Amino acid sequence: MTVDEIMRRWPAAIRVFIRNRMLCIGCPIGVFHTVRDACDAHDLDEDMISLQLLAAMANDGQLNGPSAFAVKPLPEARSSLEPPFAT
């Protein structure tokens, strides 16, 4: 899972990145970087950051929320874009 998806799915995780002075918020590479990649880039201990992220995620109200990247199946998505015109 990328750091971008973690922040979207569990907004409380953003505080962990800020507290550790990680520049992941708004970073264009965040959609590709895993926690390991981000920790390597910022020379931080991955285990420490992972524990902090897990704690933040456990306390986040969106813990069981859907992924920010969930996509509707094509037919359902298509029908949601078509206006209901009367014929």
Per-residue pLDDT 10s for the chain (87 aa) are 999 999 999 999 999 999 999 999 999 999 999 999 999 999 999 999 999 999 999 887 655 555 544 544 445 544 444 555 444
The CA distance from 86 to 67, in Å, is: 35
Is 2:33 a contact under the CB 8 Å cutoff? yes
Distance of alpha carbon 80 from its chain centroid, rounded? 25
Domain ranges of the chain: 3-81
Name the DSSP class of 53: H
The tokens for 30 are 């965040």
The CA distance from 20 to 7, in Å, is: 14
pTM of the predicted structure, to 2 decimals: 0.67
